[in-house]
């Protein structure tokens, strides 16, 4: 029965090919747009989320402050006001889970015939905790290494690859600014940061080693910045206040005077970025859905025309024994066939378009089964919803009126 | 005793128009026994088409009783009426009313779809009937590829596909020339005589009416003659238009 009705519906669709294709186009564009937009939106969202995850969670970055010398205002970090002992003092705050001072610089690395210039961070083992960074092979340096300023290094993936190729770097000796350093381990891959930098193009050494042996410092123990991790997202406002109070006290800043440091809440910035991406993704989806709605209205329009045009046919069918529900089913099936085929083509266009977009613009796109399934479900629903009214109208015609219709 | 195919008692039909209520059928009573061949004649506006539509369960009466094979038509809902049209009645129209897009075998098989018959059985049955009306080799043709007489044969095949007891024909020869009309009427006579199918048809022409056994003459919504064709007066057989 349903097979026969499907065939009847198909015959009617086939008889009006051009009209059907044009009607379908509405669905194709709607579904294609929804899938493409969801893919682009989710791609952007995923990229942001990956960057956030690679940064570490509940993060503060404390930069040494600006200074004014002879009327010239220097930028943030110009004055070395933060020290390793500031970092040690911050560790005592109950709202902070880990604190890592950091003394960055750029140096040339040499291993055998290879050499590579990269940023070298002098820091403490806490840095790995703060950044939520694991060691892929070998081991991290310890507090003992920091205390005795040993010449050891942890290599980022990019650095390891550029210096060693396929060779295992662990326990090999490299030269940084011509001094020998033992590679204790290789960090796990982190990928791009939010601003697009390669986070794996880096080397970690003990902060004391960096200060005393590699770069030297203007003042003993001074660091460029300190990274701190709060114990939880809820503790972040309290932690921010705690950091500021403690540092003002340690730096003997009078009431009313400006801070000589800046505390930045990285996670808040990241969350904003994530929310923006999500809102954008939703917006794209919503705009695309409108075209799906328009497609649905197109189906309803054409089905209404079809019912009017075929009133006589409906009358004939009723005269030879079609019940109202048979007529309803036939017209509903037509609407559903149009929308489902339109949807299938739309899925192809959407997926194809998304892949093409990612290829051309190197934008990351995410095509999930759920977004395809959703587009499909919506299309079928649109077909049923917008096909229902014309089909019902057809099924409720009185046989004699339908038969007499000219 | 066998039940009558049609029992109509005191049937009324009014049309409600803007100008008011127009009575079309007034107190019509008739009984048609199985195997009868009835011709209905009457001038335009006499209500014969309305009468036919009510007989065929396409329209409902305003008053009175209509028993079709013993079931009271007025008490049935739309779906039950559709079932009657599908299984008890076969329709033949003046304008043939075939589906232009479907080929002949699909046209003939159409009523079987609504009975849930399998496709292979449907096509077997429709081909059998097309052969019976002499159009076996045109099974794959479309209605617009054959002549009017042939189209009417297809319509008759379609009307017969569910083996109805009652064949209703509304001016079946109205669009056909004399020779073709004769062929079609011979087919109706054959179906009536050899297969025992009850036939009720509307016509304008006395020649056509002469094929029937019984003549019913309507005028102004009333039956003015009901009896054997042979006994009808020239006045009752007068052609109408």
Tell me the mean pLDDT in the region A206-219. 82
* The pLDDT of residue B164 is above 90: yes
Q: Where are the beta strands (DSSP E) in A12-134?
A: 59-64, 68-69, 72-73, 82-83, 96-111, 114-123
A70 contacts chain B (CB < 8 A) = no
Under an 8 A CB cutoff, do B113 and A323 touch? no
Under an 8 A CB cutoff, do A317 and B53 touch? no
Q: How far apart are CA A317 and CA A323, in angstroms?
A: 9
Q: How many CB atoms lie within 10 A of CB B190?
A: 12
**Which among A317, A322, A400 has the least Cβ separation from residue B59?**
A400
* The pLDDT of residue A75 is above 70: no
Under an 8 A CB cutoff, do B91 and A319 touch? yes
Residue of A nearest to B97 (CA): A316
Under an 8 A CB cutoff, do B83 and A321 touch? yes
**Which among B58, B101, B116 has the least Cβ separation from residue A319?**
B58
* The pLDDT of residue A66 is above 60: yes
Tell me the mean pLDDT in the region B89-118. 91
Per-residue pLDDT of A368-394, as tens digits, reads: 888 888 878 887 888 888 999 999 999
Query: What is the per-residue pLDDT for A79?
Result: 66
Q: pLDDT category, A71, cuts 50, 70, 90?
A: low
Strand partners of residue A99: A228
Distance from CA of A2 to the nearest CA of B (A): 9
Q: Which helix (H) or strand (E) holds B15?
A: strand B6-17
Query: What is the per-residue pLDDT for A68?
Result: 57
Name the H helices within A93-198: 126-130, 143-148, 157-164
Tell me the mean pLDDT in the region A356-361. 86
Per-residue pLDDT of B1-26, as tens digits, reads: 468 899 999 999 998 888 889 999 99
Query: What is the per-residue pLDDT for A14?
Result: 87
Cβ-Cβ contacts under 8 Å, A8 against chain B: 113
Tell me the mean pLDDT in the region A236-250. 89
Any idea what the Cα angle at residue A146 is, between residues A141 and A148, rounded to 5°? 115
Q: What is the mean pLDDT of chain A?
A: 86
Distance from CA of B21 to the nearest CA of A (A): 18
Cβ-Cβ contacts under 8 Å, B78 against chain A: 323-324
Under an 8 A CB cutoff, do B85 and A1 touch? no
CA-based Rg of chain A, rounded to a whole angstrom?
33
Tell me the mean pLDDT in the region A40-60. 81
* The pLDDT of residue B125 is above 90: yes
Tell me the mean pLDDT in the region A25-31. 90
Query: What is the per-residue pLDDT for B40?
Result: 94
Highest mean pLDDT among A9-13, A314-318, B41-45: A314-318
CA distances from B138 to B105, B134, B151, B155, B237 (A): 8, 9, 11, 14, 37
Q: pLDDT category, A74, cuts 50, 70, 90?
A: low
Interface confidence (ipTM) of the complex: 0.92
Per-residue pLDDT of A96-115, as tens digits, reads: 888 999 888 888 999 988 88
């Amino acid at each position: 029965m349903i097979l026969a009705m499907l065939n009847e519906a198909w015959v009617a669709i086939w008889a009006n090919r051009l009209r059907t294709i044009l009607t379908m186009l509405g669905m194709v564009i709607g579904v294609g747009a929804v899938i493409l937009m969801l893919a682009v939106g989710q791609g952007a969202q995923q990229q942001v989320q990956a960057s956030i995850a690679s940064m570490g969670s509940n993060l503060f970055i404390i930069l040494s402050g600006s200074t004014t010398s002879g009327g010239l205002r220097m930028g943030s970090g110009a004055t070395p006001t933060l020290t390793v002992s500031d970092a040690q003092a911050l560790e005592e705050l109950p709202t902070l889970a880990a604190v890592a001072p950091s003394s960055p610089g750029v140096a040339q690395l040499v291993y055998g015939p290879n050499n590579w210039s990269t940023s070298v961070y002098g820091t403490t083992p806490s840095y790995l905790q703060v950044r939520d960074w694991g060691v892929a092979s070998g081991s991290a340096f310890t507090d003992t290494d920091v205390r005795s300023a040993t010449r050891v290094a942890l290599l980022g993936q990019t650095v390891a690859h550029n210096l060693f190729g396929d060779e295992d770097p662990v326990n090999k000796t490299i030269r940084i600014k011509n001094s020998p350093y033992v590679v204790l381990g290789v960090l796990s891959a982190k990928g791009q940061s939010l601003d697009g930098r390669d986070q794996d193009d880096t080397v970690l050494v003990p902060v004391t080693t960096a200060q005393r042996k590699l770069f030297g410092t203007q003042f003993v123990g001074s660091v460029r910045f300190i990274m701190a991790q709060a114990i939880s997202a809820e503790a972040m406002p309290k932690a921010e206040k705690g950091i500021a109070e403690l540092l003002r006290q340690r730096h003997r800043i009078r009431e009313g005077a400006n801070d000589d440091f800046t505390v930045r809440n990285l996670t808040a910035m990241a969350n904003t970025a994530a929310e923006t991406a999500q809102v954008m993704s939703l917006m794209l989806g919503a705009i695309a859905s409108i075209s799906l709605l328009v497609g649905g209205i197109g189906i309803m329009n054409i089905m209404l025309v079809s019912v009017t045009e075929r009133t006589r046919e409906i009358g004939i069918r009723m005269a030879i024994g079609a019940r109202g529900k048979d007529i309803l089913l036939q017209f509903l099936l037509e609407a559903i066939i149009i929308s489902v085929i339109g949807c299938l083509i739309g899925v192809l266009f959407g997926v194809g378009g998304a892949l093409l977009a990612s290829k051309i613009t190197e934008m990351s796109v995410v095509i999930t089964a759920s977004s395809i399934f959703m587009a499909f479900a919506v299309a079928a629903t649109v077909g049923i919803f917008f096909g229902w009214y014309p089909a019902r109208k057809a099924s409720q015609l009185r046989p004699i009126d339908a038969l007499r219709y000219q | 005793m066998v039940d009558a195919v049609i029992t109509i008692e005191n049937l009324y039909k009014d049309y409600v128009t803007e100008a008011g209520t127009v009575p079309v059928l007034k107190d019509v009573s008739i009984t048609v026994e199985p195997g009868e061949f009835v011709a209905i004649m009457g001038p335009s506006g006499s209500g014969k088409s309305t009468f036919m539509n009510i007989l065929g369960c396409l329209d409902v009466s305003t008053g009175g009783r209509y028993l079709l094979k013993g079931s009271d038509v007025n008490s049935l809902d739309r779906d039950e009426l559709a079932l009657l049209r599908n299984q008890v009645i076969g329709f033949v129209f003046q304008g043939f009313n075939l589906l232009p897009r479907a080929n002949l075998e699909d046209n003939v098989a159409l009523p079987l779809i609504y009975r849930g018959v399998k496709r292979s059985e449907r096509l077997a049955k429709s081909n059998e009937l097309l052969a019976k009306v002499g159009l076996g080799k045109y099974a794959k043709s479309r209605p617009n590829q054959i002549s009017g007489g042939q189209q009417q044969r297809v319509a008759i095949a379609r009307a017969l596909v569910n083996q109805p007891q009652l064949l209703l024909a509304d001016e079946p020869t109205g669009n056909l020339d004399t020779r073709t009309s004769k062929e079609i009427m011979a087919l109706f006579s054959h179906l009536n005589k050899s297969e025992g199918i009850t036939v009720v048809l509307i016509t304008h022409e006395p020649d056509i009416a002469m094929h029937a056994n019984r003549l019913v003459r309507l005028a102004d919504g009333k039956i003015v003659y009901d009896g054997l064709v042979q006994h009808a007066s020239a006045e009752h057989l007068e052609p109408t238009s």
